[in-house]
Structure 1
Amino acid sequence: MRVSYQWLRKYVDLEGVTPRQLAEALTRGGIEVDIVEARNEGLSHVVVGLVETVDPHPNADKLRVCRVDTGGEEKLGIVCGAANVAAGQKVPVALHGATLPGGIKIKKSKLRGVASQGMICSAKELGMPEKLLPKAQQEGILVLPEAAEVGQPTEEVLGLNDYVLELDLTPNRSDCLSMTGVAYEVAAVLDRTVTLPETLDVPQGDEIQVELVLEAEEDCGLYGAQVLDGIRIGTSPQWLQNRLLAAGIRPINNVVDVTNYVMLEWGQPLHAFDYDKLSGDEIVVRKANAGETITTLDGVTRACDDETLLITDGERPIAIAGVMGGEDSEVGAHTTRILLESAWFSPTSVRRTARKLGLRSEASNRFEKGVDPAGIRLALKRAVELLMELADARPVSPTTVEQLAAIEDVTITLRHQRLNGMLGVKIDESTVCDIFRRLDFPVKVEGEVYQVEVPSRRPDISIEVDLIEEVARLFGYDRIPKTLPWGQQSPGALTPEQRLRRVIRQTLRHAGLSEVINYSLTSKSRLEELNHPAADARPIRLHMPMSDERKWLRTTLIPQLLETAEYNIHRGEERVALFELSRVFITDEKKLKKLPEERWMVSALVTGEKIPSHWVGPSEPWDFFAAKGLIESLLKRIGVDGVDYQAEQLTGYHPGRTAKIRLDGEEVGLIGQLHPLVAEKHDLSDTIVFELELGPLVEAAQKSTVRFTPLPKYPATTRDLALVVDKRIAAGDLTDAIRETGGEILESVQLFDVFTGEQIGEGNKSVAYSLRYRSADKTLTDKEVNEVHDGIVRHLETRFGAALRS
């Protein structure tokens, strides 16, 4: 909001308060002022001059010699190159010694042999914003109003002897989007009195009766209108243009300028329709029919949906409520009758429509934040009064208002003890009452309780703490003493789960994987492409998704890792190793009645080369066992054991290279290679993924105890064991059986070979293990080792039908 200092003085006494002091006071009171801009920055010694004669330049076809009266003893001869200069004009003249914005200094000179005693200025040369001026004033010299006095400083005529305060308002302070609202704020901060502009009783016509029909009651509960005849479209007076320019609004004509002026003054947007372009005397406010169109003032035909609020003349749309008027009812140069509208529109409706259509304006900005319903009649009355004065308007209808609900001020209870408790300072009752007086909030005191009546112009105040904030900012934040927090304090620390997540991230990064962060939303087709631990969970659909690709809450991280890998492969990344540690959303409800369970998961995807080719040797691709090694390194790092793998066939995965991961018999994740068809669909080579649920891992990690053992003193003995078994027997089951039988001296079991072929026999496989034996107390003899080793072989022969491979 741009606030003119000179305009503001019309409503509140600013005697003894400079613009910068005012900005400081407002900022301390909670209304931040970003910029204090002097409109006459760098401008001096520029006065109003009367061009008496204009003669051709004797030595230049495009130059003219002007004789100008600037109110001094002598008339000035000024050479001017502007094509629009003419005798009888009032123009801005920069005298000898004048300075213009940009540091330009004016002095007497000769132009092509003719003396020039100053310069006739354009709007741009005076530092005025060209884009806000009418096109006629953007080219050539600036022609001033005939009423301007010769010799008067130009900055007084153009309102440049002013400062503009640019307020950085928070969304809740819609009351300060008007000059009167800012005046109330300034009066409260400075403890001054507000003087609002007097609004006279305007005449009521009876030639036309306007009927108002509010069909969309929830989005338009108050609508006022009046018809004016005898309109004379023309240029607004200079004072009105000056105030609009200071606020950053371009003057257009007297009718449009009055509606903008009243919007700035009262915060109530108005709209004027050309009455002769309407089909009748009925105004209907309704929701649009799906597919209904309207051509707006910018010449664009816009399609509406069934949530768009329209102003219609009973037959066709004439405006999008609160956003923009229609081209078919636009006020033009030949308009003589207008219907003036002042209304309250739902902030939600205007915000939604403006966002959908991509239309933002000063009017929609105010409607979106909420206008004061009590100011709607007042603003309409004020506009009619100004149009009668500036456009010869004559009311030919009564002021018609349709109101669906009464406007009531809000009364809020404030407890004195609560006030002092929250602010941490003792403020006496008289000070609190005085603050509410300055705010113009009527208050009654009942013991230790205040009953505060909040006017409708302050919609941001609705509960007790809002009143406490008002007291705090006007009492002065700098007067509230600084105190240390009271209460029991404890040092901050990571929770066990947070520490575990940090270790997991570090471990996977050190293993060469890159962490990614994907959306929590995905498509149902991606969720259904792969089976996963939460396959039985019901995906949760959003009611208002951003797109079809982001419509469902994910129940697994793997599909989006696959999407990210595909994205990288298509951009030339041949080696992809990714992981994500984030949450998935699980529910078993068909119709969601409670919030879903949020589970932390860690997922990884690897594809392409694990080790690139090098002069030392060939490249090494990622495979199932390399990915399994990642899991084992990760679990070892966090101190979790007791994990085993169970072969499984899942949709979207390679039938022989997929397994469920179990911890103490409970399923906690999966590891698997993508089915070749799935990998080919996404332009990937062999791709392996795994996913682990963090909850069980956290519990297991907390139960585990880290033990340190000394380095062994005695040597180890190694035995190799090659067995022929049924190919359906899992190598993990054989390993568990060996560990069970090996006893204390069996230090480790390592599978180092698996072989199938004709030599072994159909339906069989050969598995070879390396067994390491060691005692912590002595050097083992061959006899002791052989006894244990032979016992292991006998146990395997009995339990699995294994035979030693010859």
Structure 2
Amino acid sequence: MELGITPNRADMLSMNGTAYEVAAILNERPELPAFELNESSEATADLIQAEAPADLAPKYGVRVVKDVHVQDSPLWLQRRLWNMGIRPISNVVDVTNLMLLTYGQPLHAFDLDRLPAPKLQVRTAKAGEVIKTLDGVERKAAEGDIVIDSDGQALMFAGVMGGESTEVTADTQNVVLEAAIFEPKAIRHAARDQNLHSESSQRFERGVDVEATFKALDHAAAMIAELGGGTVTNGRVIAQDFDYEAPTVDITTEKINDVLGTDITTAEIAAIFERLCFTQMEQDGRFSVTIPSHRWDISIPADLIEEVARLYGYDNLPATLPTGETTPGKLTEKQRLIRDSRHSLEGLGLNQAISYVLTTPEKATQFAMDPEATPVEVDYPMSQDRRVTRGSLLTSLLDDIAYNVARKQEDVSLYEQGRVFASNGMSTMPDEIEHLAGVVTGDVRERDWDQAAQPADFFYLKGVVEQLLADYGFVDNVRFVANTDRPEMHPGQTADIYVGDQFVGFIGQVHPRVAKFYKVGQVFGFELNLTDILRMPRVKSKYEPISKFPSIKRDLAILVDRDIQSADLVDTIKQHGGTDLHDVTVFDVYTGDNVAADKKSVAYSLTFVNREHTLQDDAINAAIERMTKALQDQFAAEIR
């Protein structure tokens, strides 16, 4: 039988809890381990004292076992621990581990003679207090961690890991056994802060059986005395305790059947509660169920309904169609834009990537559109590489490129749509901004028998972005403006992207220094702020019939200074080309012989179309004359 333990079922982190569950499944009664405790006449309180505040340890007690002979455990105990995945150490430590696995109750054993004083005290740690744990590592406690103290000296992180100074060794003769229930949040804080996720902390964080705490303590003392030849002193020393009040949950047969869609009888429901060892009172289909201490996950009627469904069998629940009025669903404007963006980029040859939103502080500020934005730090990071939220999608995509390149996949085209984060201070939630980014590296077209391979370059990716932005249908024009100030981008191949006068992103080659940091070759990337794009006015695409009249093409070659951008020339041509100018395309750029060193020759193909009538040469000539005059006036262009 294989059991999958869900996070809410911490009771099954013990053999007793699992026995209850398996017995309920098989309709049997669980047989829990029994023991006999023999105590000496010497009082435990004469040997050790304990003190614990109720807010840190609502249950805390100790026992003493004297004259113990610490040695290897018998073979049966070693085998049992090996089968449970725990390495045997000694009879004393092995017994505490066996109790942990049997009852789900963590215990700890101290060497009584190595305690600084015959008293144990539960307290919060002082910031920077150093404890050397059982693994030999000196750790600094954080304020709020729970520690066990003796005579002002912190001995161990309570509920997480013991300390080396009082550990049980081969020379130990007198053992103090500790059993407690510690405040779960403080245990989780210490475990995360110290990166010590132990078997004990796992159980204290999720809960333990409050009725089994001192029972496990007594059982451990009896077994240590038996295996180590010692004697158990008389009584426990209890620093904190409370009486368990079993909760009662009311439920009806009608409610259970209404939720599950079944016709289970009252007798069947009563039998299920009986199998679960739940005490119950029933009258006319109304149940009052008392929850035992080992099932602290049960607190509301819905929990009882779930238990009935589990043991009745999910396969036995009838399949029904949902009832109620149906309404047509539709995407919001934001959802539609994001989906259309994905379709456009996938149609243009990019594959979607999904990356972690957490990264390192160094990467969090790279490629940020807002250099003043502060990354959001995570209080309890899963690792040092996932400590802060990202400020750009490009860093995640570069990690993806590096992963692929390291595995000999050198031709990669990826895009990612996701959120970046910016801190608003400790008191408010961070800003979450929708972004869209893409990267290309290697060849975008493979070599074939009739064509050479085409490597990725700035203009290839610019074409992808231009098509994507054209699909959005902005009212304002899209502009690319050269930018040499982005430290992570190549100063000669980077441009900011504007829609009208609104900055929405950037495009260019990743700086070779940054590419080397990520261990990749030449990479081109872009990133857009979708949150800003969503606010911009757009027009819906509509069909325009093809003109019945022929188009006319003219070529225009001009000589201009090398530092003049083609985009500025195209804008001027379009502004003065008239309503019949349909398309402007660069088909040649020349520098070299017969052209001055500070000049370049740029040739454009101009397409004119009129939907109402056939164009005449006079109209085309007049439009070209207006263009050439504007180019001469604004850029001192020479017409070739």
TM-score for the superposition, normalised by structure 2: 0.76
Residue 172 to residue 587, structure 1, CA distance change in 2 (3 Å): closer
Residue 280 to residue 576, structure 1, CA distance change in 2 (3 Å): same
Equivalence map 1:582-593=2 (5 Å): 582-587=417-422, 589-591=424-426, 593=428
Match of 2:345 among 505, 522, 525: 505
Q: Does 1:670 align with 2:510?
A: no
Match of 1:692 among 506, 520, 528: 528
Q: Does 1:376 align with 2:213?
A: yes
What secondary structure sits across from 1:422 in the alignment?
A: helix
Letter matched to residue 419 of structure 2: V
Contact 1:262 1:268 in 2 (8 A): yes
Unaligned runs of 5+ in 2: none
Q: Does 1:472 align with 2:295?
A: no
Match of 2:465 among 616, 631, 636: 631
What secondary structure sits across from 2:435 in the alignment?
A: strand
Residue 771 to residue 292, structure 1, CA distance change in 2 (3 Å): closer
Quote how far apart the aligned CAs of 1:643 are: 3.8
Residue 686 to residue 476, structure 1, CA distance change in 2 (3 Å): closer
Distance 1:259 1:175 in 2: 18
Residue 447 to residue 387, structure 1, CA distance change in 2 (3 Å): same
Distance 2:589 2:80 in 1: 90
CA shift digits 1:665-713 (9 cap, x unpaired): 4333223355677678878887643223345667889843242534756
Match of 2:497 among 654, 661, 665: 661
Quote how far apart the aligned CAs of 1:336 are: 5.2
Distance 2:65 2:347 in 1: 78
Quote how far apart the aligned CAs of 1:645 are: 1.6
Equivalence map 1:353-752=2 (5 Å): 356=194, 360=198, 366-367=203-204, 369-384=206-221, 393-403=230-240, 406-414=243-251, 418-427=255-264, 431-433=268-270, 435-443=272-280, 450-488=287-325, 496-497=336-337, 499-509=339-349, 516-526=353-363, 528=365, 530=367, 532=369, 534-546=370-382, 549-561=385-397, 578-587=413-422, 589-591=424-426, 593-606=428-441, 623-636=457-470, 643-649=477-483, 650-652=485-487, 653=489, 657-673=493-509, 688-694=524-530, 703-707=539-543, 709-710=545-546, 714=550, 716-722=551-557, 731-732=566-567, 734-736=569-571, 738-739=573-574, 741-743=576-578, 745-752=580-587
Residue 707 to residue 303, structure 1, CA distance change in 2 (3 Å): same
Quote how far apart the aligned CAs of 1:424 are: 1.6
Quote how far apart the aligned CAs of 1:222 are: 1.8
Distance 1:352 1:223 in 2: 20
Partner of 1:172: 8
Letter matched to residue 465 of structure 2: I
What secondary structure sits across from 2:140 in the alignment?
A: coil
Residue 490 to residue 220, structure 1, CA distance change in 2 (3 Å): same
Q: Does 1:292 align with 2:139?
A: no
Quote how far apart the aligned CAs of 1:594 are: 2.6
What secondary structure sits across from 1:539 in the alignment?
A: coil
Comparing 684-693 and 222-231, the one that deviates more: 684-693
RMSD: 5.1
Contact 1:388 1:394 in 2 (8 A): yes
CA shift digits 1:343-374 (9 cap, x unpaired): 2244556667677566755x666545432222
CA shift digits 1:310-354 (9 cap, x unpaired): 545437666654456566656667765433333224455666767
Letter matched to residue 175 of structure 2: I
Distance 1:248 1:567 in 2: 34
What secondary structure sits across from 2:217 in the alignment?
A: helix
Partner of 1:15: none
Contact 2:250 2:287 in 1 (8 A): yes
What secondary structure sits across from 1:669 in the alignment?
A: strand
What secondary structure sits across from 1:205 in the alignment?
A: strand
Equivalence map 1:74-113=2 (5 Å): none
Unaligned runs of 5+ in 1: 1-32, 35-166
Contact 1:293 1:301 in 2 (8 A): no
CA shift digits 1:634-676 (9 cap, x unpaired): 4456766854324243332555654332335433322335567
Quote how far apart the aligned CAs of 1:601 are: 0.9
Residue 376 to residue 199, structure 1, CA distance change in 2 (3 Å): farther
TM-score for the superposition, normalised by structure 1: 0.63
Partner of 2:639: 805
CA shift digits 1:427-485 (9 cap, x unpaired): 45565455445544344679986554323221222333212212323444454333233
CA shift digits 1:706-765 (9 cap, x unpaired): 425347564x44333455779897654554454455445434333445679999999998
Contact 1:639 1:706 in 2 (8 A): no
Contact 1:214 1:221 in 2 (8 A): no
Residue 602 to residue 394, structure 1, CA distance change in 2 (3 Å): closer
Quote how far apart the aligned CAs of 1:401 are: 0.8
Quote how far apart the aligned CAs of 1:543 are: 2.8
Distance 1:772 1:781 in 2: 13
Contact 1:272 1:340 in 2 (8 A): yes
Contact 1:216 1:287 in 2 (8 A): no
What secondary structure sits across from 2:323 in the alignment?
A: coil
Residue 655 to residue 348, structure 1, CA distance change in 2 (3 Å): closer
Distance 1:199 1:375 in 2: 16
Contact 1:323 1:360 in 2 (8 A): yes
What secondary structure sits across from 1:224 in the alignment?
A: strand
Distance 2:575 2:21 in 1: 83
Partner of 1:154: none
Instruction: Report the count of equivalent residues.
Output: 630
CA shift digits 1:591-647 (9 cap, x unpaired): 4613522303123355x7777999989987655434322323444567668543242
Contact 1:258 1:383 in 2 (8 A): yes
Quote how far apart the aligned CAs of 1:583 are: 1.6
